[in-house]
Amino acid sequence: CYRPTDKSKVLDGRRAHFGGNLSLTYSDPVMLVRGWKHHLFDEWGRPYLDAYNNVPHVGHAHPRIQAVAADQLKRMNSNTRYLHPAQTAFADKILSKLPDQFEVCFFVNSGTEANELALRLARAHTGAKGMVTPDHGYHGNTNAAVAISAYKFNKPGGIGKADWVELVDVADDYRGTFKRDDPDRAQKYADLVDPAITALTERGQGVAGFIAETFPSVGGQIIPPKGYLPAVYKKIRAAGGVCIADEVQTGLGRLGDYYFGFEHQGALPDIVVMGKPIGNGHPLGVLVTTKEIAQSFDNGIEFFSTFGGSTLSCRIGKEVLDIVDDEGLQENAQQMGSRLIAGLRALEAKYDCVGDVRGMGLFLGMELIHPDGREATEICQFIKNRMRDHRILIGSEGPKDNILKIRPPLTIEAEDVDMILTVLDKVLAEASQG
Ligand code: PMP
């Protein structure tokens, strides 16, 4: 039903009717009309390897997701004001993946909404307003979510930092102040929270909590040194705050060794936020917390989301989590991630412009640099676009946009990994020739 000539019409239509800050990836954008597992197909039917999108967690167009969605839409789709077993089945499934202290789930429509709600819960529980968060973070697109997302408010044209927010450096031990050769770097990064707490207290904001992407993604695919989060959480709790783990990018098995990123850190958050992959493309956000925090929020004012926790959403969300288990996708993320990272490290040894390779499972980054160590934004953009010419989709990230981001659906296979590495080798050779 799509004609190849439609692409230019779609592009013209976008330019005419959509806001200019709705960005398009690639200098020659792709139009994608079908998907299957970790493959996408354009208007000509040409295949692309999807090594970038984390939303299709269990793969594009998964037949089991199609089946439950069709089945539920045939029956009915309603909201949480009526009983339905799909709601409790989804909650039980999520809670089975979390430590016992998590007992209460809230269902919303996006990661943004889940983070907004996390702020409300933290404030209801503590009576304070102030939030501490790492620099360059992203938590969503609404007013309060932007206010805790330095990636948005701190850019030229951004709204600037609110007086209830304090930023701390990202625990980036490649480029940050405390490097990998410093055995105390986790504690040193955590200590930066102390002045942030003092500043919020002095301004009369109090400390409602700390929110961080467990592994900062837009900050540059960073894996904080082990022990960082427990040390931060200790300080935040001592100041009366609540600890929020934004696991939108890192949760649900992507990391291979861990179902959630906070497990790697040996940290126990008070609130966990999930989004993107949990609906595999269906809009879905989830917040889980303790009974105690949920009770503080249960203050007589109804909480309701028309679509959050709809029958359809609950069935899809549970199916996604079941597929991760049934198809061994966390194990696959571990195996394919190890294969990828080994190959990326070999490329790091071969090319001077590769400064660092980092990540875990299928959450990976390759930092491109100039000979003097400065961030090589143009090399990164060149590589991203050349990979697209070879029909491999990857992204770029980081404050200077110089980190290649590889984050495929968890269905990716060994041949695909080898193709990424072979093509990346070729493209890095081109980039190195200038
Ligand atoms: N948190 C993180 C870590 C994210 O990556 C995103 C989306 N990129 C969000 C929150 C916001 O999620 P959504 O776009 O579903 O509102």
Q: What is the phi/psi pair of residue 360, to 5°? A: -155, 135
Instruction: Give residue 406 CA to ligand 1 midpoint distance, Å.
Output: 17
Q: What is the pLDDT of residue 409?
A: 98
Angle at 143 between CA 138 and CA 146, to 5 degrees: 20
246 pocket-lining for ligand 1 (C-beta < 6 Å): yes
275 pocket-lining for ligand 1 (C-beta < 6 Å): yes
Q: What is the pLDDT of residue 6?
A: 85
409 pocket-lining for ligand 1 (C-beta < 6 Å): no
Tell me the best of 276, 286, 287, 407 to mutate to test the pocket of ligand 1, counting ligand atoms within 8 Å of each CB and taking the most: 276
Q: What is the pLDDT of residue 1?
A: 61
276 pocket-lining for ligand 1 (C-beta < 6 Å): yes
248 pocket-lining for ligand 1 (C-beta < 6 Å): yes
Tell me if 212 sits within 8 A of 219, measured CB to CB: no
149 pocket-lining for ligand 1 (C-beta < 6 Å): no
Q: What is the pLDDT of residue 5?
A: 72
Fold (CATH) for 63-326: Aspartate Aminotransferase; domain 2 (3.40.640)
109 pocket-lining for ligand 1 (C-beta < 6 Å): no
Taking the CA of residue 112 as reference, the ligand 1 atom at the shortest distance is 16
* d(C-alpha 26, C-alpha 30), whole Å: 8
Q: What is the pLDDT of residue 434?
A: 72
407 pocket-lining for ligand 1 (C-beta < 6 Å): no
Q: What is the pLDDT of residue 297?
A: 98
What DSSP string describes 275-335?
-GGGGBTB--EEEEE-HHHHHHH-SSS----SSTT-HHHHHHHHHHHHHHHHTTHHHHHHH
User: Which position has the token pair 């946009």?
Assistant: 401
Which token pair is 114?
Answer: 């889940």
**Domain locations in the chain?**
6-58+328-432, 63-326
Q: What is the phi/psi pair of residue 213, to 5°? A: -65, 130
* Pairing verdict, β 403-406 and 207-213: unpaired
249 pocket-lining for ligand 1 (C-beta < 6 Å): yes
253 pocket-lining for ligand 1 (C-beta < 6 Å): no
Taking the CA of residue 285 as reference, the ligand 1 atom at the shortest distance is 15
For ligand 1, atom 13: residue with the closest CA: 111
Tell me if 168 sits within 8 A of 198, measured CB to CB: no
* d(C-alpha 90, C-alpha 86), whole Å: 6
Tell me if 124 sits within 8 A of 138, measured CB to CB: no
Helix (H, G, I), strand (E, B) or coil at 248: coil
For ligand 1, atom 12: residue with the closest CA: 111
Residues in the chain predicted with pLDDT less than 50, given as ranges, are none
Instruction: Give residue 110 CA to ligand 1 midpoint distance, Å.
Output: 7
Instruction: Give residue 247 CA to ligand 1 midpoint distance, Å.
Output: 9
Pick one of 3.40.50.620, 3.90.800.10, 3.90.1150.10, 3.40.50.300 as the CATH number of 6-58+328-432. 3.90.1150.10
